[in-house]
């Protein structure tokens, strides 16, 4: 299998027509030398956050997911992974602040138990969210509080696994959309909702019929395995739909 990190610039050119999603399975990465390398490429701020986690599993997930971002970005721009520096907006969304690259390379990171994922785009806001598929908490109550009426109506028609998967689709889509906007899920509103088109793709609808905002977004729901659901949101600005290419890697 070809080492994707030798591809470099061709990967960057592919982003003109593609969106790339990189998956990794943190629990499968246990080699001490590899983990030591991951720790060495973290920034001082990331290292401090890494050490603050109380549980080993949380430290491990943080370490692998943040190494994933650095290794993935270096697949597009020929710089050492430790060189990347990031700034954060008021809601915590990271953006590349250094090195000074000649293109607008955008990314977003998510991780949950058993999965880390990073989406990369060129000149487009992006957001990604991953959830493990299992029932927890009062999901019907969460839907009533967080989801728009059309989404709640669809959920009321479903039971069991069908309800769970549709609930998680709506939830991850909302998370990904808010992250692409650069805000937290706490700022999600009920003036929009997600629905499935005949093609099986999701689209966003706004309660105000005069709003044309939905035309500027592309959404994809992925199932990288039986246990996880991942949603990706891309600000398309009304351009043609880009192909979402996803692959598993060991960073």
- pLDDT for position 7: 44
Provide the CA 112 distance to its chain's centre, in angstroms.
11
Q: Which of 159, 82, 131 is nearest to 231 (CA)?
A: 131
Whether the per-residue pLDDT at 125 is higher than 60: the answer is: yes
Examine residue 108 and say whether the peptide bond preceding it is cis (omega within 30 degrees of 0). no
Query: Within 10 Å of residue 194's Cβ, how many Cβ atoms?
Result: 24
- pLDDT for position 209: 62
Whether the per-residue pLDDT at 2 is higher than 50: the answer is: no
Higher pLDDT, 166 or 2: 166
Q: Are 132 and 113 in contact (CB under 8 A)?
A: yes
- pLDDT for position 245: 95
pLDDT tens across 178-216, in order?
999 988 777 677 889 999 987 778 999 988 765 556 678
pLDDT band at 4 (very low <50, low <70, confident <90, very high): very low
Backbone angles phi and psi of 97, in degrees to 5: -110, -20
Q: Which of 103, 53, 49 is nearest to 73 (CA)?
A: 103
- pLDDT for position 210: 52
- pLDDT for position 1: 31
Whether the per-residue pLDDT at 134 is higher than 80: the answer is: yes
Whether the per-residue pLDDT at 244 is higher than 60: the answer is: yes
Q: How much is the pTM?
A: 0.91
Give the DSSP letter string of 93-107.
-EEEEES--SS-EEE
Whether the per-residue pLDDT at 90 is higher than 60: the answer is: yes
Q: 50-54, 192-196, 226-230, 237-241: which has the minimum mean pLDDT?
A: 237-241
Whether the per-residue pLDDT at 80 is higher than 90: the answer is: yes
């Amino acid at each position: 299998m070809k080492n994707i990190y030798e591809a470099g610039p061709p990967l960057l050119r592919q982003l003109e027509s593609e969106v790339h999603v990189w998956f990794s399975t943190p629990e499968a990465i246990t080699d001490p030398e590899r983990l030591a390398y991951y720790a060495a490429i973290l920034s001082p701020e990331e290292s401090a956050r890494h050490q603050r986690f109380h549980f080993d599993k949380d430290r491990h997930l943080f370490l692998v997911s943040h190494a994933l971002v650095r290794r993935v970005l270096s697949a597009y721009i020929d710089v050492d992974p430790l060189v990347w520096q990031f700034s954060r907006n008021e809601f915590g969304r990271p953006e590349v602040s250094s090195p000074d690259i000649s293109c607008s390379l955008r990314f977003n990171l998510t991780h949950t138990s058993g999965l880390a994922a990073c989406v990369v785009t060129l000149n487009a806001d992006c957001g990604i969210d991953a959830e493990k598929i299992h029932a927890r908490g009062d999901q019907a109550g969460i839907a009533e509080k967080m989801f728009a009426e059309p989404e709640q109506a669809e959920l009321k028609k479903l039971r069991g696994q069908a309800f769970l998967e549709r609930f998680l689709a709506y939830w991850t889509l909302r998370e990904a959309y808010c992250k692409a906007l650069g805000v937290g899920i706490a700022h999600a509103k009920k003036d929009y909702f997600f629905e499935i088109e005949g093609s099986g793709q999701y689209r966003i609808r706004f309660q105000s019929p005069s709003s044309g905002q939905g035309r500027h977004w592309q959404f994809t729901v992925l199932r990288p395995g039986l246990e996880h659901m991942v949603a990706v949101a891309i600000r398309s600005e009304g351009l043609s739909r880009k192909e979402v290419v996803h692959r598993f890697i060991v960073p």
